[in-house]
Structure 1
Amino acid sequence: MAAFGIREATSSDARLLTDMLVEAANWNRLAARPRVEVLADRGVLRYISGWKRPGDHGVVALDPEGIPIGACWYRLFPGNDPGYGFVSPGVPELTLGVNPMWRARGAGRELLQALVRDAAAAGHARLSLSVDRGNHAQGLYRSEGFVVVSSGDDSDTMVKALH
């Protein structure tokens, strides 16, 4: 397995996070939507709009040459305007995206583990996410301790206890 550099995401990483959000949304290449269509969806755009606002935190994976290849980040959403994986106010919802040519090589796992450590260090008790059924990332989330807490028509909301 390759080793990846991991660094904290900064406000200057908004474009990278946008790219990784599109990758996450287009996990199924057979049903991929054009970038402009993905970002026209307010429900999707909310995960990066205005990055980096108070409470936002993320990490970036770097290939051996230092080039960003993926990102994992979380945001807090209010109860009156929840995200897809919302479980309650104060529980950050995470997003994970990896460049397709780097998938299944460990970058996603390293990003997820780093973000979980950071969220626990920041005092968060849980992290949540939403994942489409059929997305291979669901296996990654399960193996890292996330459990399904609710299900929709084609996706599951998963939560990991951090303490």
Structure 2
Amino acid sequence: MAAAKFSIKTTSPFFLVLCLTVFLFFTLSCFADPDELQDFCVADLNATTILNWFPSKPVSEVTSNDFFYSGLVKEASTANPLGLGVRLGDVNNFPGLNTVGLSVNRADFAPGGVIPLHTHPRASEAVFIIKGEVLVGFITTTNVLYSKVLKAGEMFIVPKGLVHLISKERWTGEG
């Protein structure tokens, strides 16, 4: 039995519609807007269904307090083996951060305190020193160490996904 032949003429209306559909599909996907389509999305912390983000509160219920957070004012307790206390400024405590892609935390260190080696696969980290001194460093994917001792008022950025630490203890080495 001979195999059935299937062919589409490149001048046929079906082929033309198929090509236009594929072209239109790929063209429209390039016009997608990766940014938010609304001014803000204040988290509805009482929602029962949560997917990637908290659902938005109705705009009529949003107040200025949703964009304000004073939870970083008080020092956090450093009475633990790491000598580290952290106050979180994330969407659970600060609903205005929902969908912004940002969290702001306060870290307090006892002498010798440390935030051990860790990484944030999808986020960079900005370290700003309010008082005292800390050593901040990260290691690149080619095993190069970049570190600096920061003093009050100074800042250091850790690029997205790189292994890094913050320590109240000074080390010797290149910075």
Q: Which has the higher helix share?
A: 1
Tell me the TM-score normalized by structure 1.
0.31
Larger radius of gyration: 2
Tell me the TM-score normalized by structure 2.
0.29
